[in-house]
Amino acid sequence: MKFIAFVSAKGGTGRTTLAANLGVILARAGHRVLALDCDPQNALGTHLGIPPGLRLGIAEGSSPDEIIEYLTAQRGEVPCIPFGTRDRDDLQQAESTLLADSGWLMRRVLDVVPSGTELVLVDTPAGERVWTEHVLEMANVIVGVHLPDAACFATLPVMAAMLERQCRGRELKPAVWHVLNQMEPRSKLARDTEFLMRRHLGERLVPCPVPRDPVVGEAWAQQLPVALHSPTTGAVAALRELSEHLLTPLVDLQRHTAKVCR
Ligand SMILES: Nc1ncnc2c1ncn2[C@@H]1O[C@H](COP(=O)(O)OP(=O)(O)OP(=O)(O)O)[C@@H](O)[C@H]1O
Ligand SMILES: [Mg+2]
């Protein structure tokens, strides 16, 4: 089982949209995928047909049996574990648990994720929050999601420092990719920002930015992944290309693990 985490220093970049839709694309390509929401906004499931406001979820409060039963009953292409709607006191309690016990989230995930799951796509809150830190510790692939604007460019050093801290001391380093989302090729500002980000990030910035595409929002309003709502739209073509990039380091990782085991 491999974890792909979607992170960003700024909010609203498209982490949730990308996690849900890449999940669907990877599932359709034959992978056994699960979507896991580690963002208290609890929005990931709403892309995958789960009604907003569900209380059941990965955060403390639901038993492993309840979560497993809920996953078994789901009929969507990508099973999803929501975060679970929580009030402020519950959230503070959950964060204290995470701070006190660094293995809590991994144990919780292993208790509920069905055996045979290949890829777990994990949504996280924006910025350096305790949930993000714990997800990054588990991640095999980290995807930084950015908008092509000055605000996102300005947060690259914050993001780099966060990832550097997380990767320090790990024997098997996670692969790190960066993605530009909501790219507008006709905008000079967007093209200039892409140029500067590529100079800064080099090959870690994947060559297939996801275009700004109004269908993405329309699909979400209908609680459908855009990959099912409009499979031929430009954003979905870019996401397909992106899914292949994300898998490359995992194939290398499997080869490396097989070599070590031989
Ligand atoms: N490629 C795209 N084209 C057009 N709209 C997009 C695209 N990607 C995301 N959006 C829209 O941008 C908004 C933010 O997307 P999303 O919620 O996925 O970002 P996020 O990083 O998860 O935000 P938050 O920080 O609030 O969790 C949504 O309204 C979504 O529909
Ligand atoms: Mg989100």
Q: Where are the domains of the chain?
A: 2-261
Q: In what order do the strands lie in the sheet with 33-37?
A: 80-81, 33-37, 119-123, 2-7, 141-146, 175-183, 210-211
Whole-model pTM: value is: 0.94
CATH code, 2-261: 3.40.50.300
* Maximum separation of any 2 CA atoms in the chain, in Å: 52
What confidence score (pLDDT) does residue 251 get? Answer: 62
What confidence score (pLDDT) does residue 260 get? Answer: 41
What confidence score (pLDDT) does residue 258 get? Answer: 47
Other C-beta atoms within 10 Å of 47: how many? 28
Amino acid sitting at position 13: T
Kindly report the protein residue whose alpha carbon is nearest to atom 31 of ligand 1.
217
Kindly report the protein residue whose alpha carbon is nearest to atom 19 of ligand 1.
14
Q: Which residues of the chain have pLDDT under 50?
A: 256-262
What confidence score (pLDDT) does residue 68 get? Answer: 96
Among 42, 44, 41, 56, which residue's Cα sits nearest to residue 18?
44
Q: How far is CA 36 from CA 18, 103, 171, 209, 230, in A?
A: 13, 17, 25, 24, 23
Residue 255 CA to ligand 1 center (angstroms) comes to 34
What's the pLDDT tens digit per position in 68-96? Answer: 999 999 988 899 999 998 889 989 998 99
What confidence score (pLDDT) does residue 261 get? Answer: 37
Kindly report the protein residue whose alpha carbon is nearest to atom 26 of ligand 1.
12
Atom of ligand 1 nearest to the CA of 210: 1
What confidence score (pLDDT) does residue 169 get? Answer: 80
